[in-house]
Amino acid sequence: MEIKKITGGVCAAKGFTASGVHCGIRRNRTKRDLSLILSEKPASAAAVYTSNLVKGAPLAVTKAHIADGYARAVICNSGNANTCNADGVEVAEKTCELLAKELGIGPEDVVVASTGVIGQPLDIAPIAAGIPELVKALSPDGCDDAAEGIMTTDTVKKEVAVEFELGGKICRMGGIAKGSGMIHPNLATMLVFITTDAAVAPAMLDKALKADVKDSFNMVSVDGDTSTNDMVTVLANGAAGNETVDGEGEDFDTFRAALAEVTKTLCRMIAGDGEGATKLLECRVTGAKDVKNAKIAAKGVITSSLLKAAMFGADANWGRVLCAIGYSGADADPEKIGVSFASRAGSIRVCENGAGVEFSEELAKKILSEDEILIQVSLGDGEGEAAAWGCDLTYDYVKINGDYRT
């Protein structure tokens, strides 16, 4: 089951093109604010959505459009989340209609998404004006532009692609994501668009995605806020020519492994680009009573504001790790917990059996001064394992969100 990283993003898979343009939603004309991904033929489609009770209008429209299990295109604007607007659904539907007319497909074959400020009216005029240019710009090399067009406070584009084999056929899968703040998902996260040329039945695509997010996007947190517009969408157009994956088995397992490689890579990118962040944090928990408790403990650690602040200061304050596990709700014995910190600069054990051990503060500082930090936690209770991703908490997080709307 070899999963090989390759260059590219959503255009790595056969039969997909993409584009991104500035249509005028953003005041800054140098920033793209409208993106498109198109499959040359109908594709199986699956999506998961935010669990926030307040949901952006595009989510309801997308859910209705892919109820039949298929889609052709994804359109997404940035700069305005199209949430809490009286005419939000109307604007989302009109966006799909305008794009469908330009592409010569049905409006029901369009996935629509938005990201940006909540509660601001979204004028359809710039979107309507931008769609012809957006369609004209479609290209097999358009992934970079599409990835840029969905960014808000992101500082880097997030894209990944992999290659794998199903039934003797080479298949590819790629994804792009946006997400920097308001990240603490349940059932989905931020905005993530994944494409693959593998042939997968809609029901199995849906099953794979819903299982995957429990170990990937649901294990990411930047600031503890669950967005109103979170969505993860996967399109599978079958252009690779493999026999359709329509049930459990080796091919389905391989497909899930490829999906996990894509999603977990994007998770690390999102966490590492958290608003104001200087460090990617990964917490790996082993020895939990079961996977559920491992997940609770791991996410508890990376969501602790005190621990995040300590990591910003390169302070090996391991007590904050135990504190976070203690209130996380995980079923664990405090007297069995062990903690180590690791990075490219080395590894250091700071706690055993729930108590501190002697360690070099100088070495610890050096280890925690790197931009990727691994927090290793052993609970000593069983075989459960899990990983979660987050970032440090810096002064800049408050600066960014203090005037985000203005």
* 165-190 confidence digits (pLDDT tens): 999 999 999 999 998 776 777 755 58
- In three-state secondary structure terms, 132 is helix
Contacts of 240 (CB under 8 A, 6+ apart): 13, 14, 166, 169, 170, 171, 172, 197, 198, 199
**Is residue 285 predicted with pLDDT exceeding 80?**
yes
Fold of 4-272: L-amino peptidase D-ALA esterase/amidase (3.60.70)
Q: What number is the average pLDDT over the span 1-30?
A: 94
How many whole angstroms separate alpha carbon 147 and alpha carbon 19? 9
Give the single-character DSSP code of 228. Answer: S
Give the single-character DSSP code of 335. Answer: G
How many whole angstroms separate alpha carbon 342 and alpha carbon 334? 21
Domain ranges of the chain: 4-272, 280-402
Cβ count within 10 A of residue 297: 28
pLDDT confidence of residue 188: 52
Q: What number is the average pLDDT over the span 250-255?
A: 97
Fold of 280-402: Ubiquitin-like (UB roll) (3.10.20)
Q: Which stretches does DSSP call E strand in 272-336?
A: 280-288
pLDDT confidence of residue 340: 98
pLDDT confidence of residue 187: 58
Q: What number is the average pLDDT over the span 60-70?
A: 98
pLDDT bucket at 226, cuts 50 / 70 / 90: confident
Rounded (5°) CA angle 388-393-396? 135
- Is residue 256 within 8 A of residue 214, CB to CB? The reply is no
pLDDT bucket at 399, cuts 50 / 70 / 90: confident
Cβ count within 10 A of residue 331: 16
pLDDT bucket at 29, cuts 50 / 70 / 90: confident
How many whole angstroms separate alpha carbon 22 and alpha carbon 303? 35
Q: What number is the average pLDDT over the span 371-382?
A: 97
Q: What number is the average pLDDT over the span 275-298?
A: 96
Phi/psi for 293 (5° steps) reads -70, -30
Model confidence pLDDT, tens digit, residues 309-363? 999 999 999 999 999 999 999 999 999 999 999 999 999 999 999 999 999 999 9
Give the single-character DSSP code of 227. Answer: P
pLDDT confidence of residue 94: 98
Q: What number is the average pLDDT over the span 356-374?
A: 98
pLDDT bucket at 308, cuts 50 / 70 / 90: very high
- Is residue 283 within 8 A of residue 328, CB to CB? The reply is no
**Is residue 40 predicted with pLDDT exceeding 90?**
yes
How many whole angstroms separate alpha carbon 160 and alpha carbon 176? 7
**Nearest to residue 350, comparing CAs of 371, 321, 385?**
321
**Is residue 225 predicted with pLDDT exceeding 90?**
no
Catalytic residues: 189
pLDDT bucket at 403, cuts 50 / 70 / 90: confident
Query: Average per-residue pLDDT in the chain?
Result: 95
